[in-house]
Amino acid sequence: MFYVFLHALSASIHLLFLAASSLSWLWNKVTLTPTTREEHSKEEKHNSNNNNTIFKTTVFCSLALSVFSFVLCLFNYFYWYTSGWSEQNVSTLLDLALKTLAWGVVSVSLLKGFSFVLFFSEEEKRFRFSFFFRAWCTFYLVFSCYSFVVDIVVLSKRPIQYLVSDAVSTCAGLFFCFVAYFVKNKGHVNGIEEPLLNGDANVGNEKEATGGDTVTPFSHAGVFSILTFSWVGPLVAVGNKKTLDLDDVPQLDTRDSVVGAFPSFRDKLEADSDANAINSITTLKLVKNLVKSFLALLNTLASFIGPYLIDAFVQYLDGRRQYENQGYVLVFVFFFAKIVECLSQRHWFFRLQQIGIRMRALLVTMIYNKALTLSCQSKQGHTSGEIINFMTVDAERVGNFSWYMHDLWMVALQVVLALLILYKNLGLASIAALVATFVVMLANVPLGSLQEKFQNKLMESKDTRMKATSEILRNMRILKLQGWEMKFLSKITELRKTEQGWLTKYVYTTAMTTFVFWGAPTFISVVTIGACMLIGVPLESGKILSALATFRILQEPIYNLPDTISMIAQTKVSLDRISSFLRLDDLRSDVVEKLPRGSSDTAIEVIDGNFSWDLSSPNPTLQNINLKVFHGMRVAVCGTVGSGKSTLLSCVLGEVPKISGILKVCGTKAYVAQSPWVQSGKIEDNILFGEHMDRERYEKVLEACSLKKDLEIFSFGDQTVIGERGINLSGGQKQRIQIARALYQDADIYLFDDPFSAVDAHTGSHLFKECLLGLLSSKTVVYVTHQVEFLPAADLILYADLLNSGTDFMELVGAHKEALSTLDSLDGLATSNEISTLEQDLNVSSTHGFKEKEASKDEPKGQLVQEEEREKGKVGFWVYWNYITTAYGGALVPFILLAQILFEALQIGSNYWMAWATPISTDVEPPVGGSTLIVIYVGLAVGSSFCVLVRSMLLVTVGYKTTTVLFNKMHLCIFRAPMSFFDSTPSGRVLNRASTDQSTVDTDIPYQIGSFAFSMIQLLGIIAVMSQVAWQVFIVFIPVIAVRIWYQQYYIPSARELSRLVGVCKAPIIQHFAETISGTSTIRSFDHQSRFQETNMKLTDGYSRPKFNIVGAMEWLCFRLDMLSSITFAFSLIFLISIPPGIIDPGIAGLAVTYGLNLNMIQAWMIWNLCNLENKIISVERILQYTIIPNGPPLVVEDNRPDPSWPSYGEVDIQDLQVCYDPHLPLVLRGLTCKFYGGMKTGIVGRTGSGKSTLIQTLFRIVEPTSGQIMIDNFNISSIGLHDLRSRLSIIPQDPTMFEGTVRNNLDPLEEYTDEQIWEALDKCQLGDEVRKKDGKLDSTVSENGENWSMGQRQLVCLGRVLLKKSKILVLDEATASVDTATDNLIQQTLRQHFSASTVITIAHRITSVIDSDMVLLLNQGLIEEYDTPTTLLENKSSFAQLVAEYTMRSKSSFEKSVDH
């Protein structure tokens, strides 16, 4: 009677719905006028014109429910037609018939958009279910749940179809209530979000737009799409058809994008710093964490349902059945638990990784922003290499930690659940299991602390190595010129050896941890079974199998525990490092009092200013400074080397810490640094520097900076892409672009730090006249200069004797006068215009070495720096093969696999033994005695543990050896690469391989390859066990495996390309960061920090985009594979319950179920490992790319080594020399023939781009001749080794270079000279006293790039190097450009004194540097225009005479004016 009432009530509910919907429809028909009806029909069309996933799912569900009810109604009708009718049967049929009608009406109403079910809410701008329909859904759900519970309670008395019907109704009710109350997709706003029921309205149009222009479908996906990860399907489909490019990858949702998330994150941080950190945990944060925790909890609970039911399943197979259809109920519960486990695990993993991507992006942004505000003192403590490591390694690691976020509390929960199941099965013996579990966990404590310690040391040593690597890459040209590269390679190798020491300790500790935990489940099960025998707990196969299944589930968290602990250790180290960096002192904002434009007539005012770079030093860098500069004044700052001129400008910029005094600056500033800082990118972008294009102003600036001619000769004009650090520009061009950038900014105050020294005499005077006296005539200008001729134009001259160097102003002027004395007899001649031709000297094409492929679409091919090469298509088998066979030719690999196969065989054997040797129930006689049972089990367990130990030790040995070999190979190739490789390869690409990729190869890849192989072996083991019991499983297994392989093949092309895109998108972040660090003072002086921060955020998002989609794609695949595994498992169970009792051993069948429960996990683990391996192996691929860079010419040719005394005369004979940088580029030197006689001084002059530097580069074989030859003392330089050549020549380069280290190893890196010789050289170059003042003398420290030495002092150190070397041939490449005239005279005097018998070749911008040469060579566009003695050339009114006259006229007139002052 009760059941009749239930069905009658259900029928009434559905009848009520049908009546209400009919009345509503009639009401509309009667009350609506024709006009309103038309409007209403339009709205209904609008309502129904939709194809959102959630909408489609809702319609599909209602329709499916209607069909299901109809089918069940027919089935029951025919069944009861033959077996007879009852009241219950009639009420059931009526109920099903009304259900069919009601749900049919719902589906039609949804499709037609009837307002009775669906209406548009104007206030909320979205579609909603009507109040009546929502109330009806709620009532329907409550009733269905009640019926379902009744069915379960009285299962034995009711037919199975009732249970099925009520289960389906409950699920449908849940779904409709969820959609009705929780789904809130808003109306369409600017094409970004679609209304709830119009979600994919412009899917058709999306094909026209590229993926890169659209926001990820994840942001507006429906419930079904999110549940099944279908939103990532279109991207996987595109990747399967073509090679994915960044344009195909959709933009991130604002919640995942750092541009959208950072402002709120920053606000929260600021709130945290104001309030107590505990108070900052908002409800929102808690809810978010609870969602992830809920998924983790659900996953854990679902995973334990299987082990809990195994005993019942074994008893059922043995024939002890509690009620009818118990088998089907067990199968349903097993299957349902698997589905819940799969869904919760997939979404839990996805959300965790999503958080990781956000965390990484936010940290990178914080580190970048901090680097922009660091004070100079803080910056000295952290080199650019270290800061880059914070970004590349530490932030990445913190992001990866998200994986392990919930592991610790989950281990505790899993242990508790496991113990409850064990207690149910084994009683008090479960206490032994608890003790064993704790013993295993405690064993990890010392290992964990050791791991943290080694990880810390490993990171420190990596920092030191990266610091040295980035410095060496920056200065590779000078290392090549001096022939020092192999010495510096050995320095890197030494640093790597220290790093490897810690790496060895780290990986072997990890191996021990792996052994402890792979052996843990076996150890726990041995202890537990032993305890059972001691206490006398009866062993039954069902209970034992349930216990073993529990141990297997416990195995995963215990396996992962070492990883988790190691990851926590690593993350803690990384977070400590990042937080200590973020806590460093910023540049103090109170140094400069900034006044708004026009608020004062004084531009710069300093009152009693005391400033010091090092606040701990007792002597301030600048003391008692009093200075007042009015608007529109020109102020010249001059003084000797190291007197504090640049420091004075840095004070005005606010870069130098203030000890006391007042410093006021009124208006905006523009700054031109002494060392040019240009960004890689187009020349136009460098000049505009974030400002809008004003064509008229832009043209004026180009004219004033003499850039027009240069741009005409560049193939792409101002669209030419500048290489990293301006590698394809000459020093003069870089300086002029820098001046153009400052001029274009239209600031109030201009600060020039000696920009005229890097350009030739004519260009210098043109710049001074056009820029300072022309465009900037009404501006405030402070300029540092060494050229006395620029002083008369100043309104105020500051003579810097700020470091008490003892030289007074008149001495400086006297030096200038002396330099001009040789030219006194000359009359002034008309100045000629500069022919500013392309400085092809450095314009190296990218076709050398590694060809950087894939020029971006908007930049024509032929640019110097191309987009980074990335392989396309499948990761070649050769990459895997190379990796596996690198160590010991791959000899140990078979042993590792053998150890794992033995481990798996022994594991299966031990479990098989337990299933066979224990009785089904207590009333059955056991086949073997208790002692035999335990002895054999322990023997098998010990054997399997030993195999794990062997395997883990061999694996780390192979991994360590491989990483060492790859590191050495790659670095040797990089150091032996020709200079053209470094010109066309931004250092970010090399650094990325040396840090991130090397890190991956060091610690990740061995485990990834191992894990994949081991999971494959485990999977084969499970399949073997399941097929052993029921070979019929293969009926499903084979098609499922085929589908699985198809899915994997379908997915891998997209995942692989996305991984490569991640690698390619990372280098620009590093490069932009490195550039920013080197140009912070320039960026700050223009107040452009916010623009650079935005660029960094955009680049970070560009990196996160492919990363986010990789995560989505992997879960998309895993979800589908999990579903396939669950179907296979369910089929196996159905097969087992269908076999009549007695045919199959229930114990062995139970074993198959035990293993089957793990099928999902192992298969997901295998796929995850394979995909991760595909992603990580790209690091090996990228390193291998750099192990096949073509080498430069040999360093030593053994058959043709010159005599130790060569060259004895120093005669350089150039014969028909033709040089071009690339076969498809024009010749730079077009057939030079001349002779530099031994012991004579030769000056080389010529306009910018005439080929001066190319000639010197060819002499040092940085560039090889196309034809012709250079003979030194009748020895062809192309026939000997590079080191034999370069070690016999000396050069003082244009850019003075110092390395981090000590004074001693800066002068003598090869350690060839004694301390006495070094002191002698220092005294000769006037640095002896300076070094003696320092605490460490020769061991006093030199900071990165020699930044604690002035530019002039660095140049003197370069002079010291050549004085030590005492070569027969000395080259000066514009060596005195950045020193004052007095220091220039000092250098010239020193060279005359100590190199009187040597051949000296000088390239100079100052005519005085070459006027006392024995010979002068004038080059013009790669040809010799004049070559004779200076006297002859001056008498002949030659081009050289014009240059001299121009310089003299300018200098003499200026000089006379300065004397009048």
Count Cβ atoms below 10 Å from residue 208 Cβ, excluding itself: 8
Instruction: Select the more confidently predicted residue: 40 or 453.
Output: 453
pLDDT by residue (tens digit) across 1395-1411? 888 888 888 766 766 77
Query: What band does 835 get if pLDDT is binned at 50, 70 and 90?
Result: very low
Average pLDDT over residues 1447-1461: 50
HSE of 100, CA atoms in CB hemisphere, 13 A = 14
In the prediction, which pLDDT does 801 show? Answer: 59
pLDDT in tens, 664-704: 888 888 888 888 888 888 888 888 888 888 888 888 888 88
Cα separation, 847 vs 563, in Å, equals 45
CA distance 1116 to 603: 63
Asked if pLDDT for residue 341 goes beyond 70, the answer is yes
* Confidence (pLDDT) at 1241: 86
pLDDT at 856: 32
Q: Alpha-carbon distance 1154 to 1150, whole Å? A: 6
Length of the chain: 1461
pLDDT at 283 over 50: no
CA proximity to 1426, closest of 1409, 1406, 1444: 1444
By mean pLDDT, which of 108-122, 1025-1039, 1329-1343 is the weakest? 108-122
CA distance readout (Å), 1377 to 737, 921, 1294, 1372, 1431? 18, 97, 7, 10, 24
Q: What is the mean pLDDT of residues 1356-1377?
A: 81
Span 305-313, mean pLDDT? 73
1333 burial (CB, 10 Å; 0-12 / 13-18 / 19+) is exposed
At 484, the pLDDT band (50, 70, 90 cuts) reads confident
User: Domains plus CATH for the chain?
Assistant: 1-24+54-114+128-182 (no CATH), 235-368+385-469+495-576+875-1187 (1.20.1560.10), 633-643+667-821 (3.40.50.300), 1193-1288+1408-1451 (3.40.50.300)
Give pLDDT, residue 725: 67
The mean pLDDT of 471-483, rounded to a whole number, is 85
**Which tens digits make up the pLDDT trace of 65-93?**
888 888 788 777 766 666 666 666 777 78
Vertex 341: Cα angle to 340 and 344 (nearest 5): 80
Distance CA 1159, CA 350 (A): 21
- pLDDT(206) > 50: no
Running DSSP on this structure, what letter comes out for residue 1438? Answer: -
DSSP letter, residue 692: P
Residue scoring higher pLDDT (549 or 101): 101
Q: What pLDDT is stored for residue 902 in this prediction? A: 92
Name the band, by pLDDT with cuts 50, 70 and 90, for residue 1157: low
For the segment 1001-1035, what is each residue's pLDDT rounded down to a tens digit? 888 888 888 888 888 888 888 878 777 766 666 66
What is the predicted pLDDT for the residue at 1141? 67
| DSSP calls for 1138-1151 | HSPTTSS-HHHHHH
Average pLDDT estimate for 172-180 = 77
Lowest mean pLDDT among 472-486, 931-945, 1020-1034: 1020-1034
> CA neighbours within 13 Å on the CB side: how many for 1347?
16
Q: Quick one: pLDDT at residue 119? A: 47
- Greater pLDDT, 1295 or 476: 476
Q: What is the mean pLDDT of residues 42-49?
A: 43
Q: Which candidate, 803, 818, 845, places its Cα nearest to that of 1222?
A: 845
Mean residue pLDDT of the chain comes to: 76
- Band (pLDDT 50/70/90 cuts) for residue 124 is very low
**889-917 pLDDT, tens digit each:** 888 889 999 998 998 899 888 878 877 77
Report whether pLDDT(381) > 70: yes
Q: How confident is the model at residue 431 (pLDDT cuts 50, 70, 90)?
A: confident
